Amino acid sequence: MLDKFITPVIKPLLTPIVATLHKLGITADQLTVAGFLIGMLALPLLAFELWYGALAAIILNRIFDGLDGAMARYAQQSSSAGGYLDITLDFLFYAAVPLGFILANPAQNAIAGALLLSAFIGTGSSFLAFAISAEKFQLDKPQFKYKSFYYLNGLTEGTETIALFIALCIWPQHFVLLAGIFATACAVTIFTRIHGGYHTLKQLESTK
């Protein structure tokens, strides 16, 4: 929901960094992999209840996630392969965070963590499945022209997810409550994406 407002603000801030990295010969795919490896450090850090260390890994991962896309555009390296690598590693990272909290306290966090992981599967699959059909129909993506594939909007997107991760690291004792609230918001996103995506594609098919 907030991505379309936050991203245009952040993009110009990344340009000087990207220009410097480009001069050093660093590629967008290298940034993607480096950011993923840093982000995955959050899993053991969370499992051992090193909350602020995990928070640092999460924030660095998101910075790298912004840099890789900016680098791809700056160096004209945008590609389907890069987009595929980026989104795949992003989802592995997203799944690692709830898993870290589950490992930290299985008795307390297992059910809420499982709900959150299920919600992530629902939100991810609902827009990735639509992206395949959007490509087939060559739909425009006016709100996310910088993306390598079509983004179907929702109540919970990248910005909201990162806000959740930050909140969980600051208030880990409230994991069950925060995860439950976010999973419920994800359920709304899943419903609206499936409803909107289905009817959009149905209408497009009827006009062909």
58: closest CA among 19, 16, 100? Answer: 100
Q: How far is CA 177 from CA 45, 52, 104, 116, 120, in A?
A: 21, 20, 16, 11, 17
Q: Which of 149, 147, 155 is nearest to 190 (CA)?
A: 155
How many other CB atoms are there within 10 angstroms of residue 16's CB atom? 9
Candidate list 3, 65, 68, 90, residue with the active-site label: 90
Q: Detail the DSSP E strand segments found in 3-121.
A: none
For residue 29, the tally of other CB atoms under 10 A from its CB is: 17
Q: How many CB atoms lie within 10 A of CB 52?
A: 10
Q: Catalytic annotation on 86?
A: no
Cα distance between residue 194 and residue 201, in whole Å: 10
Q: Which residue has the tokens 């969980």?
A: 168
Catalytic residues: 90
